[in-house]
Amino acid sequence: MAGVEQLRGLGCSDYGNAQRLVRKHGANIRYCYEFNQWLAWTGTHWSFDKAVAERLAKDTVLGIYS
């Protein structure tokens, strides 16, 4: 998980938020184009999770000011 210092200095835009998402949660999510679905790392394996990207994106945006 990224430290606060890695999340500062990113633009206030969709692109900046995408960068925050990748820096904070990128190691735990992947998109599979073949199946058109998101995968989440469970700690032991990758699992299809249609809502993981939305959940983590909301978490990322809500954490900007904390």
pLDDT at site 64: 81
pLDDT at site 8: 61
In the chain, domain spans? 4-62
pLDDT at site 12: 79
pLDDT in 10s for each residue of the chain, 66 residues: 455 544 566 777 889 889 999 999 999 999 999 999 999 999 999 999 999 999 999 998 888 876
Q: Which residue has the tokens 């960068």?
A: 19
User: Which whole-number Å values give the CA distances from 19 to 12, 23, 36, 40, 48, in the listed order?
Assistant: 11, 6, 21, 18, 22
pLDDT at site 40: 96
pLDDT at site 5: 46
